[in-house]
Amino acid sequence: MVILLLAAFLRLNAPGITEFKRDEATLSRLSLNLAQGQDFPVLGIGSSVGFPNSPINVYLFAIPYAVSNNPIVATLFVGFLNVLAVALTWRVARRYFGSEAALVAGFCYAVSPWAVLYSRKIWAQDLLPPFVIATLLTGLLGLVEIKPKRWAQFWHLPLLAITAQIHFAAVILAPMSLVMMGLGWRRIQREFWLGLGVAILVCLPFAYGLYQDDLLSATKVQASLDRSSENPSSMVENSRAMRSTALDYAWFTIAGKDIHSLAGEAQFQRYLDAMPPAYGVFNLIPLGVLLAAGMLLGVAWRKPAQRPIIGVLLVWLGVPVLAYIYTWTAVQPHYFIPMMPAAFIVLGAGAAALKNELASRLPASLRVLPFGVLWMALGVIGILQIWLLLGLLDFLNMHDTSGAFGTPLGYLLQVRQTILDADTDGVLVVSDGDSVLYDNEPAVWDVLLDGVGEVRFLRPDHLWVIPADPTLLLVSPVVEAGSIPITPEVQPYKTMALRPDEGVYQIWQNPLPTVTGNRTALDAHFANGAVLESLWRDGDDLWLVWRLPAAQTGMQYITFVHGLDAEEQKLAQADLAFWPSDYWQAGDKVLVHAHLNLDGVQNLSIGMYRFLADGSYQNSELLDAEGRYVGQSLVIENK
């Protein structure tokens, strides 16, 4: 119980100190849509190997999102599942290797820094541990034990199917299942085959999604692997070869080392300087795992009855490393999440085996000494691991590590609550992009502002929007102040500070922009419903003021200003992406800024066009007051 309370504290405490960036937001949006009955996805988000993930993660995260649209609830859901993983690790070690093994395995897993860090985020791979251990346990109970449990036989393959779909790294569990099926094939009963049918059903949505997108061919799979191995951002060399990368990652993951990497290159030394130099001591954990594995091999040699259990455990420990020794794909540290419970169970089992071995060789008065020394060592290592871990979480929450660990969710939720308290019908998020699918801030705020009326997104690099209806503006810290054409005297309604030196979010209540220069009234109507109301000119700077119609799904227009000479030859040109038509509302105004060298320009040609599927483009035609065709653009005198 104490071990579980410790595991729960480390995994569930301060849930706001977690990242919430585009990947987490994209997965959350799919889960929210499912929980709210808007969609049933058959593919998940993209993966690091260039292949879509299974939708099983969406289905799992729909559980907490059915309770609340607050990502904190989903974050705590991940933490709870990983506390369950600690309990299951204790259970496996207790059943097969005794109480001493269970205490060692449970304690080491509870305080392991990477095990904790991989329990505190809305990330598909963070869901793996309880499913990995449950898959192992049902295999042992249903296939390896002499008296098999029928219910365990039924659940083994469905759990394997779920686990393998949570993250591709779990596919390496298949050899472990094959070993267990080989050991227990004579004990297989009809429940196992019924479970096989359920496993196939579990895989059907993903299979259908892959078929629908024509991704089932071996050529497409190979192409994804090739893209992964050639990815310049990969943490290993791109060429395929035998490398120590997998062993290195497995070692520091089990040890709990290198957690300073979350602070990023600019800040990690500052964090380390405030912590005791404990990484060297942490190496005793993976070293102990190796020694314990060797001891278990000796036990298996001497005691045939324990060979099946030990064999399965060592396969579980070894296959993740062996699978990536040859870099057939880009290797990432989180691929070794599935092996962490195995490592700590091996360590616990080895400690118990050592105690049993010494019990037959030492006097009764000395038998407790080696195990006491072991617990003292584990206690010191555990205290240091907790110290470094809690220190890291505090550091990430109080220092700008935006180049590595993003803005903690807790800060974003304060901004969210301020907007919720304002009880607005609409929010315009001004940030680094306008696409929920591809840009970080829009993806994040699309989820955080779920249910807050109409939420739209604007990238103000060359345009600005004046909403027709009362709207709050949420301005991200990534937006440069000079890109916002708002009167300096106008102050934000609220400012919400992030970590020191990370900037502030600004909340505005419909501020009016400032545009300077000479105004030319136009009132030019185009076929897509947009109206060019006026043109403002200040030297070579032009502002086009457009009035919008209602939204048009999936249309991406380009607005253009071309400077022409007397012979209508083009002397200057500005073609600028317009605001996505999905965000339009009737009466909105869009101000587009264009900078051209207008020397020698006699006329200005202004209009809009969009690209067609075949790569050609189509102008939105200029119409007269009765809707009749006038031309491909509005041509006015440059004056």
CA distance 634 to 639: 15
pLDDT for the residue 233 = 45
User: Is residue 407 included in any domain, yes or no?
Assistant: no
* Residue 491 scores a pLDDT above 80: no
- Would you place residue 235 in the very low, low, confident or very high pLDDT band (cuts 50, 70, 90)? very low
User: Is residue 190 included in any domain, yes or no?
Assistant: yes
User: Is residue 406 included in any domain, yes or no?
Assistant: no
pLDDT for the residue 482 = 65
Q: Are residues 501 and 547 in the same domain?
A: no
User: Is residue 409 included in any domain, yes or no?
Assistant: no
Which of 509, 534, 562 is the C-terminal boundary of a domain?
Answer: 509
Region 566-576: mean pLDDT is 89
CA distance 418 to 425: 14
Q: Are residues 128 and 221 in the same domain?
A: yes
- Would you place residue 360 in the very low, low, confident or very high pLDDT band (cuts 50, 70, 90)? low
pLDDT digits (tens, 9 = 90+) for 190-212: 999 999 999 999 999 998 888 88
User: Is residue 257 included in any domain, yes or no?
Assistant: yes
Burial 318-353 (b: 16+ CB within 10 A, else e): bbbbebbeebebbbbbbbbbbbbbbbbbbbbbbbbb
What would the two tokens of residue 163 be? 């686990």
User: Is residue 17 included in any domain, yes or no?
Assistant: no
pLDDT digits (tens, 9 = 90+) for 215-233: 766 666 666 555 555 554 4
> Helices 150-166 and 128-139, interaxial angle, to 10°?
150
Q: Are residues 473 and 576 in the same domain?
A: no
Q: Are residues 145 and 209 in the same domain?
A: yes
Q: Are residues 470 and 338 in the same domain?
A: no
Which of 363, 398, 433 is the C-terminal boundary of a domain?
Answer: 398
pLDDT for the residue 539 = 86
Q: How far is CA 167 from CA 45, 56, 191, 258, in A?
A: 11, 9, 26, 23
* Residue 53 scores a pLDDT above 90: no
Q: Are residues 214 and 165 in the same domain?
A: yes
Q: Are residues 368 and 443 in the same domain?
A: no
Burial-class residue 67 by CB neighbours within 10 Å (0-12, 13-18, 19+). Answer: exposed
CA distance 405 to 633: 48
pLDDT for the residue 237 = 45
Q: Are residues 483 and 375 in the same domain?
A: no
Which of 398, 425, 455 is the C-terminal boundary of a domain?
Answer: 398
pLDDT digits (tens, 9 = 90+) for 121-171: 999 999 999 999 999 999 999 998 888 899 999 999 999 999 999 988 788
- Would you place residue 579 in the very low, low, confident or very high pLDDT band (cuts 50, 70, 90)? very high
Range(s) of the domain holding residue 478: 415-509
Region 615-628: mean pLDDT is 90
End-to-end CA distance of the chain: 81
Return mean pLDDT, the chain: 88
* Residue 492 scores a pLDDT above 80: no
* Residue 441 scores a pLDDT above 90: yes
* Residue 405 scores a pLDDT above 80: yes
Q: Are residues 351 and 427 in the same domain?
A: no
Q: Are residues 472 and 578 in the same domain?
A: no
Provide the whole-model pTM: 0.89
Region 106-120: mean pLDDT is 96
pLDDT digits (tens, 9 = 90+) for 546-562: 999 999 888 899 999 99
Of the candidates 6, 13, 16, the one whose C-alpha atom is nearest the C-alpha of residue 407 is 16
Region 381-401: mean pLDDT is 95
pLDDT for the residue 234 = 44
Region 25-36: mean pLDDT is 95
Report the domain count for the chain: 3
Q: Are residues 455 and 557 in the same domain?
A: no
pLDDT digits (tens, 9 = 90+) for 319-339: 888 888 876 667 888 889 999
User: Is residue 297 included in any domain, yes or no?
Assistant: yes
Q: Are residues 134 and 245 in the same domain?
A: yes
Contact 151, 109 (CB under 8 A): no
User: Is residue 113 included in any domain, yes or no?
Assistant: yes
